[in-house]
Each structure stands twice: as C-alpha cells, then as structure tokens.
Amino acid sequence: MKKSFKEKVYELCRAIPKGKVATYGQIARLADKPKAARAVGAYMRMNPDSPNTPCHRVVASDGSLTGYSGTGGVTGKKKMLLAEGVNFIGSRVNLSWSKWNN
C-alpha cells in the first residue's frame, strides 16, 4: 500500500537523528512534494505522536525556530535542540553544522 504524504512526513521526521535538524522544505522534497513546506509545518503542529515523532527537529530554511506547539513554545524547542547538541548562531540553528544530510 502506498504511503500518504502525511505518513511520509512523519516517517522522515522520525528519521532525523538527535543533534540534527531538517527544514520544512527539505522534508517536503524528501516526501516527493517539494512545494509543500507549509503542509509539513501544519503536520508538525498536529503531530499526534510526540515525542516519538520529534517535530522540534524541523526548522525554517534560514534556521529560525518558526513555531512549536509543544510545552514552552519556541523557547522550549530551542532548549530541547540545545540539549541534543544542535549548534546555534544567535537565535537560529547553524544549518551548516546541524542540518541533517540524509
């Protein structure tokens, strides 16, 4: 049975290792819908399986933390990413260091 776009998005999110992040656009491209970055963001907001599906590891294309519906909001997201070893420059993830190269 063929997986839906939503199922692919959550599967890809679960594949992001600790200490790495992916962008919404990167997940959309990997799920075969390169123009669906906003849909990826919507799925992250509706994540029914946190923390098994670590939506906090998905960030904007410039490394900014554009939102997080979990505990603590964006501040909580940053704390979790820092605890996992993600590298930041100011308030943005240093994508050259911490971007997942799948």
Orientation angle between helical segments 37-45 and 5-15, nearest 10 degrees:
70
Domain ranges of the chain: 5-98
Domain 5-98 = CATH 3.40.50.300: no
ω into 48 cis (within 30 of 0): no
Predicted model pTM? 0.94
Task: Give the span between the Cα atoms of 61 and 51, in whole angstroms.
Answer: 22
Residue 35: Cβ within 10 Å count: 9
Is it the case that residue 69 has pLDDT exceeding 90?
Answer: no
Percent of the residues in the chain that have a pLDDT greater than 70, as a whole number: 100
* 43 within 8 A of 10, measured Cβ to Cβ: yes
pLDDT band at 14 (very low <50, low <70, confident <90, very high): very high
Report, as an integer, the average pLDDT of 81-94: 97
User: Any idea which residues carry the catalytic annotation?
Assistant: 55
Report, as an integer, the average pLDDT of 67-77: 88
Task: Give the span between the Cα atoms of 30 and 58, in whole angstroms.
Answer: 13
